[in-house]
Structure 1
Amino acid sequence: MAFQFNGSLETFQHDTVTHHTKDNSYWFYEKSKESFPGQAFGLEIVDILYHTKTEFQDILVFKSKTFGNVLVLNGIIQCTEKDEFAYQELITHIPIMSHPSPRKVLVIGGGDCGVIRELIKHVEDKSVESITMVEIDDMVIKLSTEFLPQMAKYHNHPKVKLTIDDGFKFLRETREKFDVIITDSSDPEGPAQEFFQINYFKLLSNALNENGIVIMQSSENIWLDIKYLKELLLKASNVFPNVEYCQCYMPSYTSGQLGLIIATMNKTVDLTRPLRRFDSCKETSLFKYYNHEVHHSSFILPTWARQYLG
């Protein structure tokens, strides 16, 4: 199936797109008065590839001058071809490499299928045996297969069970137990709001096997709203006795970093250091961002941030 925007860049209108008449250029600007007031991230647009408003969200896909194709949900960049691997690898391999036997994995969200791509590496390594992905908006998957094919190339893999449903509803109703749960949601707006509340952490804990691990993007890093980040960590700590925070470098994310919260009911495991690791040759062949040293260093925070977050 092919998708395209039936129109020209000159006639396209969107709150995030600005035309600079001086050099006749068109720019995407990510702004938020609530999440990161007073700053913005911009990319020059080459072409609008697709735009739609689904039942759940506004979806924009454009070709940028320097970051390749870009997926935007509700005005917020979700991934770009240039740097997506940093986030996809860290959110996937930190919990997988921290678990002794991550056979059964659940992905909540993740419609761009980048996490699925990374999990398939562990399927091929014979550690992960089954993957369930629950995505509320199938249009994200369809557009990713068309415009982000290197991310979505395994969406129909035989080890992947794809369910189009609300992740919150799925967790309330499922009786299955998982070794690793990865919440790859968008920011806390629209359908993703429920993923940042204490009840969601309770649902995650109920869906875990013994020694299971959960990880989620925090929507914040230490440079944006660290107060909100601390509140989110406290919510997680009300449910899980072992909670850690790590971060990855993402130039397309506002302020250049993205934070992840990882948690488990197992008090004894050190989530900041990989329980399993590959040799350097295998790491180089499998990963572009992750390695066992990055695993540990991602949890090291500047003094002021470590003190504030406790």
Structure 2
Amino acid sequence: MFAFITGLLIGVFAVMGAWGLLYWRKQWLESYIMEEEEPDGDYRVIMRKRSPFQRIAVAESEGIYYVYADGSEMMSTDLAENQYAEAIVHVPMAAAANRESVLIIGSGAGITAREALRYAEVETITAVDVDPIIVQLGREFEPLVNFTNGSLHHPRVKTVLADGREYLENCNDRWDVVIIDLPDPSSKAPDLTKLFSVEFYRLLKTRLNPGGAVAIACSVVSVMPEYLAAVQATLKTAGFHVIPYHWDYIVEFAIDWGFCLATLKPIAPDSIEPLIPVKHLSEDRLEDMFLLPRYLRVDWDEDEVQTDRNTLLIEIVEREFED
């Protein structure tokens, strides 16, 4: 009987250990690609690597490549990425008085740089990103190099490995156009709030040439319209004129991205038209982009802004995940 009970216990513990191992493995895998962020259909994971800042994964499905950071999709080589790039690049380029110098904070693998390089008058693009693995992917991973036309190797592009805030604090350069394409601040990455704060935006003003324009990515506004409202209020407090806009992916991808266009002088939305041929920013689409639908408009206290000392945006993001 003792031998039977002992054998039974060993079997139970073995099963428990196997389930525990499977659970641990699932948790580990989700730290690289969250289940709800997985590509549709079958996919294969090409790379998992931990950078000094985040867990990076690359997956492939039906010829499309996806790059993940801490479980969430960061970029891909699908149609949505091209649409997003047009929205965040060509709007500020059209709004700016000049386009000779461009700064990209959160340059990633070079997709936004690819779009900025299409302007003949652009002389320099400063592409700043803090993560060396992401930049390495943009420079060496063939599917991304093909997708970006090798933008990070272009002689007009200067790649800088640095925190965007620290970079601005330690240089005196000025730019005509600034594109800020960063992840949402979170409790895992609280320092990101300092790239969305009123103090940072005031510093940014001093780095803009007269007639300069800034575009800022404002997350998935369809589920967090408060995020867009908070960024808009923060920019206004810093002294910018602000036009919020959005890119509605709902029909194709069930996502609506928000952006803020910030300028030193007022500009009329109906005066903004792409200066070069684009695939997705039609006249009707532009008109829709600058007309926020009712579900994206929220009542917001203009005094409630992100600063270096509070966690406003983190609270907005984490409320959404709690729900």
Match for 2:29: what amino acid? H
Q: Report if aligned partners of 2:247, 2:289 keep a CA contact under 8 Å in 1.
A: yes
Match of 1:15 in 2: 30
Counting only pairs closer than 5 Å after superposition, residues 63-212 of structure 1 correspond to structure 2 as: 63-65=60-62, 68-82=64-78, 83-122=80-119, 126-144=120-138, 145-146=140-141, 147-149=143-145, 150-151=147-148, 153-189=150-186, 190=189, 192-212=192-212
1:299 maps to: 290
1: CA distance, partners of 2:245 / 2:269: 10
Deviation for aligned residue 1:235? 0.7
Deviations 1:52-106 (A, max 9, x none): 11111111111124x8111111222122211210111110100001123211111
Aligned residue pairs, count: 269
Q: Provide the residue aligned with 1:288 in structure 2.
A: 279
Match of 2:317 in 1: none
Kept in 2: contact 1:112–1:152 (CA 8 A): no
- Cα gap change, 1:184/1:199 in structure 2, threshold over 3 Å: closer, same or farther? same
Q: How many angstroms apart in 2 are the aligned matches of 1:163 and 1:16?
A: 27
Which residue identity is paired with 2:161? I
Contact 1:104/1:178, CA 8 A, preserved across alignment = yes
| Counterparts in 2 of 1:265 and 1:162: CA distance versus 1, 3 Å | same
Using a 3 Å threshold, how does the CA distance of structure 1 residues 111 and 216 change in structure 2: closer, same or farther? same
Does the CA contact (< 8 Å) of 1:60 and 1:73 recur in 2?
Answer: yes
Q: Which moved more, 1:288-297 or 1:85-94?
A: 288-297
Residue aligning to 2:310 = none
Structure 2: distance between partners of 1:260 and 1:105: 18
> Is contact 1:16–1:29 with CA below 8 Å preserved after alignment?
no
Asked if the contact 1:99/1:275 (under 8 Å) is kept, the reply is: no
Matched residue, 1:33: none
1:249 aligns with 2:264: no
- 2:272 is matched with which residue: 271, 274, 282? 274
Q: CA deviation at 1:276?
A: 6.1
Please give the secondary structure, in 1, of the residue aligned with 2:238.
Answer: coil
Shift of 1:164: 1.0
1:17 Cα offset (Å): 7.4
Flag the structure with higher strand content: 1
Contact in 2 for aligned 1:103/1:129 (Cα 8 Å): yes
**Aligned residue identity for 1:14:** L
Instruction: Measure, in 1, the Cα distance between the counterparts of 2:250 and 2:53.
Output: 27
Go from structure 1 to structure 2 and tell me whether the alpha carbon gap of 1:276 and 1:142 turns closer, same or farther (over 3 Å shift): closer
Where do 5+ consecutive residues of structure 1 fail to align? 1-10, 19-26, 31-40
Identity, % of aligned positions: 22
CA RMSD of aligned residues (A): 2.7
Unaligned runs of 5+ in 2: 1-24, 303-323
Higher helix share: 2
Relative to structure 1, is the Cα distance of residues 252 and 167 closer, same or farther in structure 2, using a 3 angstrom cutoff?
farther
> Residues 107 and 272 from structure 1, CA distance in 2 versus in 1: closer, same or farther, beyond 3 angstroms?
farther
Partner of 1:48: 45
